[in-house]
Homo-oligomer: A and B are copies of this chain.
């Protein structure tokens, strides 16, 4: 039976890839991969394996999602074992679910392998916990880039403000000022600490500590994870003591 593996390969460091993911990569006939996967992984493909770059960078999609789905289905129908590699986790803003749905609808077996998500790991890289006993008991993970084709906006930052202790914004570099403005309008203090984590686990990784009133995406290289809340101060105290 032909099958498609939807595989998370973590936040960009090859050491953070799971054993299961490596096994699938080594055995696959076809690898369909995103821009943000650890590049060394492709060298692990077996000789003759077909490598297909699916792109996915804000505003620079190489393949449309429909094309990606079509490739997964058609390659699997040729009897090939297909591994679809996602940076991070495939179901956390990765569209892995949509791919799995499409594959399954076509009678093809779909296996999902979770990965380490940058939503949690990127802050952790700079010793920032998104939750912390006595400081934060809840963390919301939200997208900063919503599908412009949608009929309604899903994330109402004014409503979210103050309802969770920590807000983690993914894919929000271009809209972070607007998001911060809405959070302040929703009641958050402009002095609320913010960490902007850029390219965690990749070349040029860095963190900038700022506040909600001052945050901007200028000069930051993608991908950026923004962490908003008092956990950021906890991390600073740890970093300072090192």
Of B23, B133, B138, which is within 8 A of A15 by CB? B23
Partner of A114, one of B16, B112, B242: B16
Taken residue by residue from 145 to 156, chain A's Cβ proximity to chain B (1 for < 8 Å, 0 otherwise) reads as 011001000111
A contact residues, range: 35 or more
Partner among B95, B113, B124 whose Cβ is within 8 Å of the Cβ of A112 = B124
Counting every copy of the chain, the complex holds 2
Q: Which residues of B contact A16 (CB under 8 A)?
A: 18-20, 113-114
State whether the Cβ of A140 lies closer than 8 Å to any Cβ in chain B: yes
User: What is the distance, in angstroms, from A119's C-beta to the closest C-beta of chain B?
Assistant: 8
Interface residues of A in 10-28 (CB under 8 A from B): 10-11, 13-20, 22-23
Contacts of A97 in B (CB 8 A): 127, 129, 132, 234, 238
B-contact bits for A107-147, CB 8 A (1 contact / 0 none): 00010111111001101110101111110111111110011
Are A10 and B18 CB-contacts (below 8 A) given A120-B91, A120-B114?
A: yes
Asked whether A131 and B120 contact (CB < 8 A) given A163-B163, A238-B97, the answer is no
Beyond A129-B91, A138-B143, A147-B134, whether A17 also contacts B15 by CB under 8 A is no
- Judge if A105 is at the interface, Cβ distance under 8 Å: yes
User: Quick check: is A209 within 8 A (CB to CB) of the other chain?
Assistant: no
Instruction: Say yes or no for A71: interface residue by CB 8 A criterion.
Output: no
In the complex, whether A92 has a CB less than 8 A from a CB of chain B is yes
- CB A130 to nearest CB in B, in angstroms, measures 7
CB distance B140 to A139 under 8 Å? yes
Q: Are B104 and A241 in contact (CB under 8 A)?
A: yes
Taken together as a complex, chains A and B put the C-alpha atoms of A60 and B10 apart, in Å, by 33
Q: Does A159 contact B (CB under 8 A)?
A: yes
Q: Which of A36-79 contact B (CB under 8 A)?
A: none
A207 shortest CB reach to chain B, Å: 14
Cross-chain contact of A143 among B112, B131, B156 (Cβ < 8 A): B131
Chain B neighbourhood of A155, CB < 8 A: 137-138
Also in contact, A163 and B165, with CB within 8 A (given A93-B131, A141-B141, A155-B138): no
B131:A137 contact, CB within 8 angstroms:
no
